[in-house]
Amino acid sequence: MSEERSNTEWNSQLRDALALIVSGMRPEDGKLRRRYSALIQLYDRVLGQGNIGNQTLSIGVYGCPKKGKSTLLNSLLGEEILPDKAIPTTSSIITLRRDAAREDYEVNCYAEDGDVRIEHFDDSSEVRTDLDQWGSHQGKDPRWATIDVKGPFPHASESLNPNFILRDTPGAEAYASEEEQGHRLEEDLKRDSERALKSIERTDLHLFCVSCEAIGSESDKHFYDKFFAERPCIHVLTKRDLSHENNDKKIIDDYMNKMKLTTNEEAIMCTVLTGIVPDEKTGERGRFINKGKNSLITAIQQCLDPEFLIKKMSRIAQFIIENHSNENLPAFKEISMIHFRNLDSVLKSK
Ligand SMILES: Nc1nc2c(ncn2[C@@H]2O[C@H](COP(=O)(O)OP(=O)(O)OP(=O)(O)O)[C@@H](O)[C@H]2O)c(=O)[nH]1
Ligand SMILES: [Mg+2]
């Protein structure tokens, strides 16, 4: 049997073992069980792509308005393609698909009433102008629910998957504080939030964005608990430069405390700090902090890496057996222990 084949078999055995172990969790651990099920689903999606290392799973940014979501994706793209402003900006779900073989950019806009608008551009700066007009609140027509952009994106971070799918979403105003909602019209607020929420199901990995200006606000907590706590999610603490705290770890600890997060309990959970720093001379907006960007890319790569997921599943299996197995089902616990121990010894020998 080839090593690749036996690896695949072993991986799928661990996946099945975890599914079995998860199904035997105590009834009161329902939330935890749903989180681990989401991890199994992500693993299936990653492996389901077949060609490991070349996955085209979609990565989307989510959060309340003005958290720096579009700015974050622009930093990954290496150029300012997505509209980002100090006032409520993104109004459509904007999906960017890289196809390195393409030379031009194709922009497809879809409206809820079925109307479609298709444009081709030679240059990404023209895409930016187009998105400013059609995918932003300051533009001509915000009725386009989704906008798909296909193109070569030559400046995108080399560490991203060669054919990435990135998704920008409007700030979910429904979860924003009054201050964040600002001057927007009621109807806009509702429509934007609905668009953002609808796209959650279509996204494989969620980047939940929170600003360091207001860590752990009620609106962030509510939004996270309702939609992301049981989905594969990376927490991104944006606007690092606006925090008064110098110590990165303290910021992350503070966030985790306020959001009531514990690393052990999350299916996929890592927290990264990103942001731009002011230009030293002018004090104006400067470059994106590379350290934050690199740690975000590493976190994304890990979440979409089968080996990483397998190790995480193995740790979770052990954690569940030790802490959350259903005591009313001793026989089940015994079986899952045996199953897991076999797999654990294989893992150690690898
Ligand atoms: N100081 C600072 N400002 C930032 C940072 N990231 C984004 N901003 C600013 O925050 C404002 C909002 O950024 P956007 O990227 O448009 O935020 P968004 O979450 O996409 O906003 P909506 O699409 O309206 O929900 C802009 O003025 C950005 O320049 C950061 O790291 N530091
Ligand atoms: Mg935006």
Query: Which range, 30-44, 71-85, 95-109, 261-275, has the best average confidence (pLDDT)?
Result: 95-109
Look up tokens 């689903």; give the residue: 41
> What is the Å distance from ligand 2's center to 322 Cα?
43
Question: Do 12 and 134 reside in the same domain of the chain?
Answer: no
Instruction: Quote the CA–CA distance of 308 and 157 in Å, as a whole number.
Output: 21
Instruction: Quote the CA–CA distance of 251 and 249 in Å, as a whole number.
Output: 5
Mutate which of 62, 66, 70, 189 for ligand 1? The one with the most ligand atoms within 8 Å of its CB, which is: 66
Closest CA to 173 of 157, 158, 161, 191: 191
pLDDT digits (tens, 9 = 90+) for 316-327: 777 777 776 665
What average pLDDT does the segment 294-307 reach?
86
Contact 90, 70 (CB under 8 A): yes
Ligand 1 near 89 CB (within 6 A): yes
Closest CA to 269 of 305, 303, 226, 308: 303
Question: Do 33 and 75 reside in the same domain of the chain?
Answer: no
Residue spans of beta strands (DSSP E) within the chain: 58-62, 93-98, 105-111, 116-121, 144-151, 165-168, 205-211, 233-238, 269-273, 276-278, 285-288
Q: Look over the chain and give the mean of its residue pLDDT values, rounded to a whole number.
A: 81
pLDDT digits (tens, 9 = 90+) for 208-253: 999 998 888 888 998 998 898 888 888 999 988 888 888 888 988 8
**Domain of 330, in residue numbers:** 3-50+308-349
Question: Do 227 and 100 reside in the same domain of the chain?
Answer: yes
What average pLDDT does the segment 68-81 reach?
91
| Alpha-carbon distance values, 15 to 24, 25, 181, 182, 349 (Å) | 14, 16, 43, 47, 18
Ligand 1 near 192 CB (within 6 A): no
Check residues 335 and 252 and name the one with the higher pLDDT: 252
Mutate which of 71, 136, 181 for ligand 1? The one with the most ligand atoms within 8 Å of its CB, which is: 71
Question: Do 300 and 313 reside in the same domain of the chain?
Answer: no
Question: Do 342 and 242 reside in the same domain of the chain?
Answer: no
Question: Do 297 and 333 reside in the same domain of the chain?
Answer: no
Contact 216, 258 (CB under 8 A): yes
Residue 245: per-residue pLDDT? 84
Query: Which range, 179-193, 201-215, 275-289, 290-304, has the best average confidence (pLDDT)?
Result: 201-215
Question: Do 139 and 247 reside in the same domain of the chain?
Answer: yes
> What is the Å distance from ligand 1's center to 32 Cα?
33
Instruction: Quote the CA–CA distance of 130 and 135 in Å, as a whole number.
Output: 8
Instruction: Quote the CA–CA distance of 83 and 91 in Å, as a whole number.
Output: 10
Residue 1: per-residue pLDDT? 45
Contact 108, 89 (CB under 8 A): no
Question: Do 253 and 140 reside in the same domain of the chain?
Answer: yes
Question: Do 98 and 246 reside in the same domain of the chain?
Answer: yes
Check residues 55 and 83 and name the one with the higher pLDDT: 83
Question: Do 227 and 92 reside in the same domain of the chain?
Answer: yes
Q: Looking at ligand 1, which residue's alpha carbon is closest to its atom 17?
A: 68
| Alpha-carbon distance values, 262 to 32, 208, 245 (Å) | 12, 16, 21
Is pTM, for the whole model, over 0.75? Answer: yes
Question: Do 34 and 125 reside in the same domain of the chain?
Answer: no
Residue 146 backbone class (left: φ over 0; alpha: ψ -120 to 50; beta: rest): beta
Question: Do 292 and 335 reside in the same domain of the chain?
Answer: no
Domain tally for the chain? 2
Ligand 1 near 232 CB (within 6 A): no
Query: What's the CATH number where 113 sits?
Result: 3.40.50.300
pLDDT digits (tens, 9 = 90+) for 124-183: 999 999 999 999 888 877 789 999 999 999 999 888 888 899 999 999 877 776 666 666
